[in-house]
Amino acid sequence: MNAFLNEIRQTLVPGRDGEHGPLPPLLIAMTLVTGLVDAFSYLVLGHVFVANMTGNVVLLGFALIGAPGFSVAASVLAIASFGLGALGGGIVGSRLDHRRDWLLSSAATIQVVLFTASVVFAASSGSPVGTGYRYSLIAVLAISMGIQNAAARKLAVPDLTTTVLTLTITGIAADSVIVGGTGSKSGRRVISAAAMLAGAVVGATFIVHSRIYYPLVIALVVMALVAATTRILATPGAPWVRAGS
């Protein structure tokens, strides 16, 4: 239990001179954003994910056989837009692969711009969201999350992909002391899953009980804080800013 709690503490309050510096809590914040935007997309935009593409492929399968409430066009647009965003994130990652601080702050800044556009679209769309606004929101949000996923992949902090939890949850169980494992990084994995759950809960709560665009406003604020914090904490000589550190 002490090791588990210590892992949580190190994830949320890491030392700046550690291997990954402030990256773990920043990526946890981005995982929260994933829960927020997928709550918005699934509940508001018609049963489609803009961040979790595994689920989106499954939803596309439902749509292809004509299951009610699912859209082939929406799922295909989300997947294609996510891929476009990942391509853009890959370009940013390739050009800034020598400085992880620049990579994260640049990706987060691009996301801030895209989230700003999404807030404007969502606030202007009314409820229910019209078709034109719906597809615009799917495209903008999926591009943003593709950029985020590509950046997180390039940063390569173990168990903090910000969007994919299948392997994270598998690791919690498969590496647990119950089955003879070491329980390695279980605290970090649990925090990652909890952050996405929290984002989904907060997002759904605002959508059901308040303004539908509030989850996107929160996501915008969080990403702006991630971009600003990365720039503030970055020190050129710190080990974590260098790729492969």
pLDDT at 192 over 50: yes
Residue 167 lies in a domain: yes
Query: Is residue 89 situated within a structural domain?
Result: yes
Look at residue 183 in the predicted model and tell me its pLDDT.
55
Q: Which of 62-66, 76-80, 123-127 has the lowest mean pLDDT?
A: 123-127
What pTM did the predictor assign? 0.90
Examine residue 160 and state whether it is found in any structural domain, yes or no: yes
Distance of alpha carbon 18 from its chain centroid, rounded?
Answer: 23
Q: What is the pLDDT of residues 96-135, one digit of tens each?
A: 988 899 999 999 999 999 999 999 999 998 878 888 999 9
For residue range 125-142, what is the model confidence (pLDDT) as tens digits? 887 888 899 999 999 999
Q: Residue 243: inside a domain, yes or no?
A: no
Length, in residues, of the chain: 245
Locate 117 and state its tokens: 């556009």
Query: pLDDT band for position 16 (50/70/90)?
Result: low
Range of the domain at 99: 2-10+23-230
For residues 195 and 35, what is the distance between their CA atoms, to the nearest angstrom? 8
Residue 178's pLDDT is what?
62
Is 60 exceeded by the pLDDT of residue 245? Answer: no
pLDDT of residue 177 exceeding 70: no
Query: What would the pLDDT profile of 212-244 be if each residue is shown by its tens digit?
Result: 999 999 999 999 999 999 999 888 778 888 865
Domain count, the chain: 1
The string of pLDDT tens digits covering residues 42-55 is: 999 999 999 999 99
Question: CA 158 to CA 20: how far, in whole Å?
Answer: 10
Task: For residue 26, count other CB atoms closer than 10 A to its CB.
Answer: 27
Does residue 146 lie in a domain region?
A: yes
Position 129 scores a pLDDT of 86
Largest CA distance in the chain: 56
Predicted pLDDT of residue 180: 57
Residue 124 domain-assigned (yes or no): yes
pLDDT confidence band for 206 (50 / 70 / 90): very high
% of residues, the chain, pLDDT over 70: 91
Question: Which residues 6+ apart lie within 8 Å of 95 measured at CB?
Answer: none
127-130 long-range contacts (CB < 8 A, ≥24 apart) are 127/44, 127/212, 129/44, 129/45, 129/212
Contact 82, 142 (CB under 8 A): yes
In a domain, 117, yes or no: yes
Q: Which residue has the higher pLDDT, 133 or 183?
A: 133
Residue 245 lies in a domain: no
| Burial group, residue 166, by CB count within 10 angstroms (0-12, 13-18, 19+) | exposed
The CATH number of the domain holding residue 165 is 1.20.1250
